[in-house]
Amino acid sequence: MNAKIDPWSSTNILNYSKLFEDFGIMPFDSMYSRIDNPHRLMRRKVIFGHRSYEYVLDAMQNNEPFAVMSGFMPSGRIHLGHKMVMEEIIWHQQKGADAFVGIADREAHAVRGISWEKCREIGINEYIISLIALGFEPSGHIYFQSRSENVKDLSFELGSKVNFSELSAIYGFTGETSVSHMVSAVTQSADILQPQLEKYGGPKPTVIPVGADQDPHIRLTRGLGHKMNMFKIEGREDKDGNRYFSIRSKAAPQEALEELNSIIPGNTKLFEGHLDVFEVDNFEKLLKTVRDVELRYGGYAFVPPAATYHRFMSGLQGGKMSSSIPESHIALLEDPKDAAKKVKRAKTGGRISLEEQKKMGGEPDKCSVYELLLFHLIEDDVELLQIREECITGQRMCGSCKNLAAERMEKFLKDHQEKREIARERLDEYYL
Ligand code: SF4
């Protein structure tokens, strides 16, 4: 590992391709062509990478169970960056996912020192009401970490599979890091694995839509899921070059291996602690059989969680978007007229003079107004593309983009805030 990504500091990661090399995140391009009606953020490559998303897509397309999960730390105002993740959750819910949203109050309490009461207030008033207003359906699950016995129990168990050195290697924890901060890291792993508990139908592909800075959690959790499982399946080759699979017991009783030996058809050979299976023509079927037996013997049989990774929005004034700098972001609860004014003051990719802009064209890729249109305010790809073309060719001036973005932002916020009032009335449907 050449670099660390810290999920607790808002790092603007400029070189996304480095993530492919350093961390093994796969480009999302290869998934895109298989998706029916891809989300705006997928079409526009805002979602740029993934891990194991192919399993989620397979389940989606074959009407098999799958889940989507993400969490929000109740530590400040809900803004457009959070809206992006909420939209991804809701899109997957509409595609058939069992949807989970965790309010990470344990993390907010441990890392930011926010009281439990304040966490609950911010969690409901800022995040949950907007989530419902954006279209999250009551068939999904919204919960607070501190009130979820599943999550607390599972995090304790996961904690037994990871030590301080491993957490430090991932997060850069030091001797000064509090134990609760470390507990909040494994609590998030429990959040991610919760959809696969028996209570929710057992193991299934689960996608976690996150910003690239959250990848440490994903890697930690994939590793923990693997460590919790009773079996490990390894592909092997004998001395004659014939390939076979070896099902290794990590924590399974010998009877579980014996049961596998009796139900797996064809050529098998049982040893103490492992079972070799030859001439396998359907690996997925073998995997399912092993998972079913593990569940019968009280294991979890977790499927490694999948993830999608999105780019970050930059701040309205350029540079990083920061929750603590109001001028850098638009909060979903701010006055729509004030937000429109902020948009008009935002940094653009325009040139110093109109003459120069006409001659050289603008730079939409360096423009925070264009970014607002691309991420949030224009649904129609053709309309967006036309603005881009006009900008690059010098036919468009920044004033018209600012007016358009300001007008749409004002309308969106007004509309969203009205929907929030209806959502507030519906809170009971979500069993908080
Ligand atoms: Fe940005 Fe529009 Fe100006 Fe181009 S014309 S730099 S897209 S504001």
The confidence score (pLDDT) of residue 19 equals 67
**Domain identity same for 65 and 185:** yes
**Domain identity same for 224 and 235:** no
Q: Are 209 and 85 in contact (CB under 8 A)?
A: yes
| Probe residue for ligand 1, chosen from 383, 385, 396 as the CB with the greatest number of ligand atoms within 8 Å | 396
**Domain identity same for 194 and 335:** no
CA dihedral 98, 153, 212, 127 (to 10 degrees): 60
Q: Is 43 part of any domain?
A: yes
Per residue in 187-245, pLDDT (tens digit) is 999 999 999 999 999 999 999 999 888 888 899 999 999 999 999 999 999 888 889 99
- Distance in angstroms (rounded) separating the CA atoms of residues 257 and 248: 9
**Domain identity same for 118 and 185:** yes
- Distance in angstroms (rounded) separating the CA atoms of residues 49 and 59: 19
**Domain identity same for 254 and 221:** no
Q: How confident is the model at residue 1 (pLDDT cuts 50, 70, 90)?
A: very low
* Token reading at 180: 């609760």
**What is the pLDDT averaged over residues 387-407?**
96
Instruction: Give, for 219, the enclosing helix (H) or strand (E).
Output: helix 215-228
Q: How confident is the model at residue 6 (pLDDT cuts 50, 70, 90)?
A: very low
**Domain identity same for 173 and 53:** yes
The confidence score (pLDDT) of residue 16 equals 65
Per residue in 132-171, pLDDT (tens digit) is 999 999 999 999 999 999 999 999 999 999 999 999 988 8
**Domain identity same for 200 and 267:** no
Pairing of strands 206-211, 231-237: unpaired
The confidence score (pLDDT) of residue 15 equals 59
Instruction: Give, for 93, the enclosing helix (H) or strand (E).
Output: helix 80-94
Domain harbouring 124, CATH code: 3.40.50.620
* Token reading at 142: 């919204």
Per residue in 247-290, pLDDT (tens digit) is 999 889 999 999 999 999 889 999 999 999 998 888 889 999 99
Nearest CA to ligand 1 atom 3: 398
Q: Is 96 part of any domain?
A: yes
Q: Given the CA of residue 397, which atom of ligand 1 is nearest to it?
A: 5
* Gap from CA of 346 to ligand 1 centroid (Å): 11
Per residue in 329-378, pLDDT (tens digit) is 999 999 999 999 999 999 999 999 999 999 999 999 899 999 999 999 99
Distances (CA, A) of 49 to 99, 130, 209: 21, 26, 10
Nearest CA to ligand 1 atom 5: 398
* Gap from CA of 416 to ligand 1 centroid (Å): 26
**Domain identity same for 283 and 419:** no
Q: Which domain range does residue 396 map to?
A: 326-429
Q: Does the pLDDT of residue 416 top 90, yes or no? A: yes
Q: Which of these three, 310, 341, 359, is where a domain ends?
A: 310
Nearest CA to ligand 1 atom 6: 349
Q: Which of these three, 255, 277, 310, is where a domain ends?
A: 310
Q: Is 315 part of any domain?
A: no
Nearest CA to ligand 1 atom 8: 398
Q: How confident is the model at residue 12 (pLDDT cuts 50, 70, 90)?
A: very low
* Gap from CA of 364 to ligand 1 centroid (Å): 6
Q: Does the pLDDT of residue 73 top 50, yes or no? A: yes
The confidence score (pLDDT) of residue 11 equals 40
| Probe residue for ligand 1, chosen from 345, 356, 367 as the CB with the greatest number of ligand atoms within 8 Å | 367
Q: Given the CA of residue 364, which atom of ligand 1 is nearest to it?
A: 7
**Domain identity same for 71 and 165:** yes
* Gap from CA of 192 to ligand 1 centroid (Å): 39
**Domain identity same for 197 and 93:** yes
Per residue in 112-137, pLDDT (tens digit) is 999 999 999 999 999 999 999 999 99
**Domain identity same for 84 and 150:** yes
* Token reading at 70: 């993400």
Q: Is 3 part of any domain?
A: no
**Domain identity same for 194 and 271:** no
Which residue in 188, 190, 199, 185 sits closest to 98, CA to CA?
A: 199
Decide: pTM greater than 0.75: yes
Q: Is 98 part of any domain?
A: yes
Number of domains, the chain: 3
The confidence score (pLDDT) of residue 319 equals 78
Q: Does the pLDDT of residue 9 top 50, yes or no? A: no
Residues at CB less than 6 angstroms from ligand 1: 348-350, 362-364, 367, 369-370, 391, 396, 398, 401
Q: Which of these three, 264, 282, 310, is where a domain ends?
A: 310
Domain harbouring 379, CATH code: 1.10.240.10
| Alpha carbon of residue 114 to chain centroid | 24
